[in-house]
């Protein structure tokens, strides 16, 4: 059985954008990861309340990772 190497990228993602996806992609390639979890912060402690709700930010992340095999929101 081959070990899975999975990365975790967290953030506010208000909204998620190409820079976030590019960062995750670079990490997958540089670290030879088999997958990536992209997790939006519900209530970020270091900044004001996001404009989009947690539900909508999760939905945006789910759409952004849909085309990347092994990535999950």
In a domain, 24, yes or no: yes
Along the 73 residues of the chain, how does pLDDT read in single tens digits? 678 999 999 999 999 999 999 999 999 999 999 999 999 998 888 888 899 999 999 999 999 999 999 999 9
For residue 14, give its domain range.
6-72
In a domain, 16, yes or no: yes
**pTM as predicted:** 0.89
Total domains, the chain = 1
* CA dihedral sign, ordered 34, 5, 24, 12: positive
Task: Scan for tokens 């997790």, then name that residue.
Answer: 39
In a domain, 15, yes or no: yes
In a domain, 63, yes or no: yes
């Amino acid at each position: 059985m081959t070990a899975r190497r999975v990365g975790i990228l967290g953030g506010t993602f208000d909204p998620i954008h190409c820079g976030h996806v590019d960062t995750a992609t670079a990490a997958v390639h540089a670290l030879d990861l088999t997958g990536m979890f992209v997790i939006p912060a519900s209530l970020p402690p270091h900044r004001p309340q996001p404009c989009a709700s947690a539900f909508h930010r999760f939905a945006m992340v789910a759409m952004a990772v849909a085309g990347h095999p092994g990535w999950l929101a």
